[in-house]
Structure 1
Amino acid sequence: MYKNIAPIFGAAWQAFSLFYNQYPIRFLLVFLIMLVSGVLEGVSFLSFVPVLDVLGGVAESGGSKISLTFLEYMSAVGLPASISAVLSVLVCLMIFRSLLLAVGTVFVQWTFADYVASLRVGLIESAMNAQWSAVRDQKTGEVVNAALTEVEAASATAQQMNQALVSLIQILVYMGAAIAISWQFTAASMVGAAIMMLLLSFLILMARAESIKKTSTTKEYASLIADWMQNQKALKVMGIGHAAIKLIVEATEKLSHSVKKLAVFQSSLVLGQEVLILFFLAGAILLVDSYLQIEVSELLVGIVLLQRLMSKFGAFQIAVNAIARQQAGFISVRQRLDDLQHLAEFSSVRKEAKPRVFLSSNIDFRNVSFSYAETLVLADVNLKINAGEMVALVGASGAGKSTLLDMVTGLVNPIEGEVRVDDIPLSSLDLVTWRGQIGYVPQDVVLMHDTIRENLTLGAVGLSDQDVFDALKLAGAYDFINERKEGLDLIVGERGQTLSGGQRQRLALARALIRKPRFLILDEATSALDQKTELEIAETLRSLTPGITILMTSHRPALSSLADRIVSMEKGAIIPSVPVT
């Protein structure tokens, strides 16, 4: 059993350690607040003993040792041994303890909110900075689920570990208070608590196993929803939405089943604790009545202390159970972060400055080969693109055109040969600076559910509305935007669904041009445009050279015909270039 419980605390401690390492001062403050609050709570309970003795008139005529000690301290500070004075001290202690606990609770919640935010930012940054192969293979739904749900679970794991530590502090305080009344009484309560935790530990192990299944099911569910929502138009048009609904219903029921089982385990744990605590309380009272001689005031307070002590053991066990339920999310987030950071495209520490280029001479593919798994995609490719030139790559699907584009941007690296920019190997360049000079227009345009302005600027500082309008004009998108009363504030809808395919592609072109790139890459960027618009954009692109170097793939003659060169590709190889006349 201990071997099964150990991983629970191992993962929880790892989560808590991450929190502590990030916020050491805050943690120490929280720990100090909780410690002082716990001590005040114990003293407050013990102060009920002199209250009862004073009310019974036995405080000064042989009351309990606790009462005599308490009244001696009051006398030392000049307070009378009256009921009003004793109650005043008690009320002040409890109010101060409550205020301290309230401040500590808010502080803890604020700190964990920052912890969640840092986890989310770290997760997204790691995903964005990972190698392209890792980014390409990620499921959108799983990333969203990790950033929203699993990060909350990771935070909850650390919070519950914190709660477990707080419960331990309170247990020690209550034990000290109980020992002040009777060590036999305290020993009996400790035995009862140990029995309770042992009897109910199987529920924690069952909750842990089910939480692991729930985390896996939630990942699958999030990916399923994301995939089907992205294809909802096709589902509607073909009238097969019922098939998607059926799969989603099955996945929902599977997830719901896990949630219900975890609820049963949680409720069973609370119920078991309450029943066992009642039995132990009854046994403790019988023990005192039969074998121990305790003042009535101490007995009454001792019973309450015993109940509180057992409850704190129960709170500790509930915290452990919550850790077991939530830790699967933390493990998943931690594993994802570790994997992404291991596959980071750039080292967080740059050992030496890398050269920067501004594409003033050429891009040179020298004997370049590349393969996906065991499939050869590029075979001994040699191609030179001069600065200011407009080059069109043509060829059947799978010829290697898009891979060549990925290679010149540094998304993939050749297994043989090298790519050189201005006669410097691309592998030795500062890729951040190099990519900052590139404008890219993909074939599959994905717009954000936001305004035209935000879709073009992508949050970049320093781009004005005039820059946006200039880019729209270059891309042939100004007129249809200008006709709408919303203008740049027009919301384009999810993935740009409120716009036509041609309008989306023109906005993607404007997004690439707004930063005034030195190197423009277009991957079938005009495939959704009508012939007239395509020709207009082709002429616009032609006018950008020689100020901009353009490399594009296209099956459309209007775009290819205006290129300086047409480079044909077949089965990963280059067919001799054809100069355009």
Structure 2
Amino acid sequence: MTVNDVKTFMKSFWHMVGKKSIIVIVLSILVLVMETVGLMLLIPLLGSVILGKQQGTLTQPVFDFFAGIGIHPSLEVVLLLFATCAFFRNWGMKWQTVLGFRIAKDFSKQIFCELYNLILQTKWNTFTANHSAKYKHMLLEENYRIEVLVITGFSLLTRTLLTLAYFCFSLFLSATITLLVVLGGAALFFLLRKRLLFLDRESKKFLHHRATLMKIADEHMAFFKMIKLSHQQEKFGREISQARELVDDSRDAMLYSSAQHQFLFTFGSACLLCIFIFFGKHAVLLSPLKIMLLVVIFSRIATLLNSVQNAMKQILQFFPAFQRTWEMREWCLENRDQVYGEQQVFCRKSVDMKDIRFGYQKDVVLNDFNMKIPVYGMTAIVGESGVGKSTVIDLLLGLVVPEEGGVYIDDIPLSCGNIVNWQKQVSYVSQNCYMLEGTLRENIQHGCPQKSDEEVFAAVEKAGLGDVVRHLPLGLDSPICEKGENFSGGEKQRIAIARCFLQDSSVIIFDEATSALDYATEAQVMNSLYNMTQKTVIIVTHRLASIERADLIYCLEGGKVVEQGSYRDLLQNKNYFYRLWQKQGNN
């Protein structure tokens, strides 16, 4: 935790919730004033009521104050005032706690929303470089720790102010004893500093192992079916068990270190208090009243310092959550999609990819790549796995930007100014279909909830989903479980295709969108696409038989177009496309 990190935190905190926190600070001052007045009331309470002394250098100023306002400091009056101060002090602490929680929640919520929006605006290739569990960990676990950090900060503020008030009052009673206590406390902190640093390291280890455990658990849940089918439950069980053991060991070490530190600090404070009180009576010759007050004050100081120390430990433990969140925020800003407006772009002639070079890190995927996609027809892109078909689709969608060359819509380059408008004209279906928890209707209408039931049913029929819906007891109102587990892979693809058809966009892109369909259903979907003569359809597929009626087919190999033409022409050429066709069992 550096000074710059603290400055960044304070700046962001003030920008988001600074004005609201002023109320908490005012309440802290109210608590401080009430505590100070309560301390002053201890003097006549102990001096005149308990010890029976009406005069003295310590009690006289307090009695003079009461005389000045016309009040006789009897037991009843002092107790009533003391109870009043206690009421307002605790009332202030109550509302400070309540408002502190609300402000902490508001601060963490704003950070959550800002980070989530920035993640959504991150460039696609940099977004996919991180594991999804990392984003979830930042948005949930780390964000919760930021909330605890703010709550602890408010608690630390109040206890620090109270500690300072007690020290000031103890200086008034005996500067010598107070300075000795301060020096003794500083020495105690110095002796225990290594344990505090060790505790900080163990806390970081615990958080690291916990994040790793969440990542492993997330991966196992994603491959749950594969684990069962491969009968590797025991292996994966050992892996998760070992990760959990690391979490437990680091937590045990952290808790033991915290308990040990707490014991040494509390016991050391008690020993110092006894030594200094003994010294005050026999060396400084303090009066019994001052000794009693110092005992009360130093006992409270010890308790408050313990609370301050625990708060500091929590801040050291949770502040790295803000640092990591802020680092991800800066990373998202550096890798943010550059969008400057919504300039209009219309696709009436063709979509061209000219002289494109693109790669991931050091691996070049496309080099000197050119492709011309005519409008109002179907263009298919084929090739073996890993030749760059999905990369071409990402470039067409504007998800990634080429290192050289560009994508042109009717000779207008796809840029930051028109990419939003272009993407709004495109409906995209991938091999991996996302499902929302809700009803079948809500999933199909996602993105266009204003569509009528007649339009929904028309899209369902085009996607070959009509028989499935008719056999469901609740029809379109049938619930969809988490990740659509109550539907087959083919049914989920058809739901996604129906969603695409319902959007009625001018450009439709399928990236292996029919890979889980049987041949009859795929033929029905492809027939629906062929009949969309006023739309531009781009399809990536491995099933060559499904694109027999495509207007134009591009064959990719080694990051370049090696062959193009109609289905019949490519077969007659007996080159790359013909070899792919033969590999699929055709003769």
1:29 equivalent to 2:16? Answer no
One of 50, 56, 62 as aligned partner of 2:55:
62
SS class of match (1:392): strand
Quote the offset at 1:520 in angstroms.
1.0
1:146 equivalent to 2:146? Answer no
SS class of match (1:383): strand
Unaligned 5+ segments in structure 2 are 569-587
One of 51, 54, 61 as aligned partner of 2:45:
51
**Structure 1 contact 12–158 (Cα < 8 Å) conserved:** no
1:188 equivalent to 2:174? Answer no
Q: Distance in 1 between matches of 2:227 and 2:306?
A: 51
Q: Please identify, of 153-162 and 285-294, the stretch whose mean Cα deviation from structure 2 is larger.
A: 153-162
Q: Please identify, of 135-144 and 74-83, the stretch whose mean Cα deviation from structure 2 is larger.
A: 74-83
In the alignment, which residue of structure 2 is the partner of 1:385?
373
Quote the offset at 1:465 in angstroms.
5.7
In the alignment, which residue of structure 2 is the partner of 1:3?
none
**Structure 2 contact 510–539 (Cα < 8 Å) conserved:** yes
SS class of match (2:431): coil
In the alignment, which residue of structure 2 is the partner of 1:485?
473
Quote the offset at 1:149 in angstroms.
1.3
In the alignment, which residue of structure 1 is the partner of 2:549?
562
1:421 equivalent to 2:413? Answer no
Q: Distance in 2 between matches of 1:418 and 1:251?
A: 46
- Show the 5 A alignment for 1:352-391: 353=341, 355-391=343-379
Q: Distance in 2 between matches of 1:277 and 1:45?
A: 21
Q: Distance in 1 between matches of 2:476 and 2:64?
A: 78
Q: Please identify, of 204-213 and 8-17, the stretch whose mean Cα deviation from structure 2 is larger.
A: 8-17
Q: Distance in 2 between matches of 1:378 and 1:285?
A: 81
TM-score scaled by length of structure 2: 0.90
In structure 2, give the amino acid aligned to 1:27: S
Quote the offset at 1:543 in angstroms.
2.3
Q: Please identify, of 436-445 and 285-294, the stretch whose mean Cα deviation from structure 2 is larger.
A: 285-294
Q: Report Cα offsets for 1:504-534 as digits up to 9, x if no partner.
A: 1011112323332221110011111111111
Quote the offset at 1:58 in angstroms.
4.2
**Structure 2 contact 206–250 (Cα < 8 Å) conserved:** yes
1:287 equivalent to 2:275? Answer no
Q: Report Cα offsets for 1:201-230 as digits up to 9, x if no partner.
A: 112211222223223322322221111111
SS class of match (1:47): helix
**Structure 2 contact 388–556 (Cα < 8 Å) conserved:** yes
1:121 equivalent to 2:113? Answer yes
1:40 equivalent to 2:27? Answer no
In the alignment, which residue of structure 2 is the partner of 1:4?
none
One of 536, 540, 558 as aligned partner of 1:553:
540
In structure 1, give the amino acid aligned to 2:433: V
Q: Please identify, of 450-459 and 321-330, the stretch whose mean Cα deviation from structure 2 is larger.
A: 450-459
Structure 2 CA distance for partners of 1:39 and 1:244, relative to 1, 3 Å: same
Q: Distance in 2 between matches of 1:448 and 1:361?
A: 36
Quote the offset at 1:62 in angstroms.
0.8
SS class of match (1:23): helix
Quote the offset at 1:13 in angstroms.
5.5
Structure 2 CA distance for partners of 1:428 and 1:254, relative to 1, 3 Å: closer
SS class of match (1:544): coil
1:112 equivalent to 2:99? Answer no
Q: Report Cα offsets for 1:141-178 as digits up to 9, x if no partner.
A: 22212222122223333443443333321221111222
In structure 1, give the amino acid aligned to 2:312: V
Q: Distance in 2 between matches of 1:210 and 1:328?
A: 13
- Show the 5 A alignment for 1:126-525: 126-346=118-338, 350=340, 353=341, 355-458=343-446, 462=450, 468-525=456-513
Structure 2 CA distance for partners of 1:450 and 1:247, relative to 1, 3 Å: farther
Q: Distance in 2 between matches of 1:253 and 1:45?
A: 50
In the alignment, which residue of structure 2 is the partner of 1:537?
525
In structure 2, give the amino acid aligned to 1:48: L
Quote the offset at 1:420 in angstroms.
0.4
Q: Please identify, of 325-334 and 447-456, the stretch whose mean Cα deviation from structure 2 is larger.
A: 447-456
Quote the offset at 1:403 in angstroms.
1.1
Q: Distance in 2 between matches of 1:188 and 1:107?
A: 38
**Structure 1 contact 215–329 (Cα < 8 Å) conserved:** no
Structure 2 CA distance for partners of 1:129 and 1:464, relative to 1, 3 Å: farther
Q: Distance in 2 between matches of 1:256 and 1:460?
A: 48
Structure 2 CA distance for partners of 1:550 and 1:240, relative to 1, 3 Å: same
Q: Distance in 2 between matches of 1:193 and 1:397?
A: 69
Structure 2 CA distance for partners of 1:135 and 1:555, relative to 1, 3 Å: same
Q: Distance in 1 between matches of 2:300 and 2:462?
A: 74
In structure 1, give the amino acid aligned to 2:255: A
Quote the offset at 1:261 in angstroms.
1.0
**Structure 1 contact 12–323 (Cα < 8 Å) conserved:** no
SS class of match (2:480): coil
Structure 2 CA distance for partners of 1:483 and 1:577, relative to 1, 3 Å: same
Q: Distance in 1 between matches of 2:456 and 2:175?
A: 78
Q: How many residues align?
A: 568
**Structure 1 contact 204–320 (Cα < 8 Å) conserved:** no
Q: Distance in 2 between matches of 1:496 and 1:86?
A: 70
Quote the offset at 1:292 in angstroms.
3.4
Q: Please identify, of 555-564 and 8-17, the stretch whose mean Cα deviation from structure 2 is larger.
A: 8-17
Q: Please identify, of 88-97 and 445-454, the stretch whose mean Cα deviation from structure 2 is larger.
A: 445-454
Q: Distance in 2 between matches of 1:398 and 1:292?
A: 86
Structure 2 CA distance for partners of 1:445 and 1:217, relative to 1, 3 Å: same
- Show the 5 A alignment for 1:63-102: 63=56, 65=58, 67-102=59-94
Identity percentage over the alignment?
A: 24
Quote the offset at 1:272 in angstroms.
1.2
SS class of match (2:496): helix
Structure 2 CA distance for partners of 1:57 and 1:214, relative to 1, 3 Å: closer
Q: Distance in 1 between matches of 2:323 and 2:213?
A: 18
Structure 2 CA distance for partners of 1:467 and 1:292, relative to 1, 3 Å: farther
Q: Report Cα offsets for 1:226-258 as digits up to 9, x if no partner.
A: 111111101101211111111111111011111
Quote the offset at 1:89 in angstroms.
0.9
Q: Please identify, of 114-123 and 248-257, the stretch whose mean Cα deviation from structure 2 is larger.
A: 114-123
**Structure 1 contact 379–573 (Cα < 8 Å) conserved:** yes
Q: Distance in 2 between matches of 1:511 and 1:266?
A: 55
Quote the offset at 1:554 in angstroms.
1.4
Structure 2 CA distance for partners of 1:387 and 1:64, relative to 1, 3 Å: farther
TM-score scaled by length of structure 1: 0.91
Q: Distance in 2 between matches of 1:246 and 1:32?
A: 54
Q: CA RMSD in A?
A: 2.4
Quote the offset at 1:16 in angstroms.
4.2
SS class of match (1:80): coil
One of 4, 13, 17 as aligned partner of 1:19:
13
